Structure formats: C-alpha cells, structure tokens
Amino acid sequence: MLIKVIILIIIGYIIQLSALNWYSILIYSSIIGLGSNSLKQSIVIGFLVGLIPWLVQFILYYNNTILLLNRISSMFFNYQSPILLIILSLLLISLLTILISASFYYIKTLIYDRRKN
C-alpha cells in the first residue's frame, strides 16, 4: 500500500504542477475515493494527496512569494504571519480532499449495494 500511496502522491503533484485551476486536485481526490478499498484508505490517501503536493509547492516557492504571503496574511489576520496562512491553507485543502475522497467512496458503496439488491 505504501508504494500505491507514493505513486498517487506523485501523480497528485504532477496534476498540481500542470493544472491551471487549484481545484483540479479535488477532481483527482474524487477518483481516489472511487478507487479506494476502504473508508480508512480513502481518508488517508485523500489527506496525503491534498497535503503533500501543496506543502512541497509552499516549500519550493516560499522565498519568492514571501511578500505576497505577508500582505495576504495582514489582510486576514491584521498582522504579518505567512506561516499561519500556509498552515490554514494546508488544513483547508486537506479537509477538502478528505471530504471529497470519503464522499466518493460512500457513493461507490451505495452504487454497489444497490446493484447487489
């Protein structure tokens, strides 16, 4: 399973690099939810696919975007704290990918249960 997770994270990172829209990772997360074997697997892989590509992007481009991050954080928090802004962004995208992955896993189980009956 570890190799599967690593491959899915690498694909998620490639999608994140090549995408013009930030929500393309959410579409990928829905595909992960459909392909998961259990709810736990769906949640864990959804979390990692949401967190790791965005964290890598923040680490790679932190020095180039520090001014923009300072200004955005001062708009939201009334003081310059780019680290807090990064943490909140990572939490938000992780929560979104978990919810979408788990939702599509449940949709898949509903469809399979309906076919059995």
Question: Per-domain residue ranges for the chain?
Answer: 2-116
pLDDT of residue 15: 82
Please tell me the pTM assigned to this model. 0.84
51-63: pLDDT as tens digits: 998 899 889 888 8
Position 39 confidence tier, pLDDT thresholds 50, 70, 90: very high
Is the pLDDT confidence value at 98 over 90?
yes
Residue 111 Cα distances to 7, 35, 46, angstroms: 27, 13, 20
Is the pLDDT confidence value at 30 over 70?
yes
* Beta carbons within 10 angstroms of residue 87's beta carbon: 12
Rounded Cα distance, 77 and 27, in Å = 30
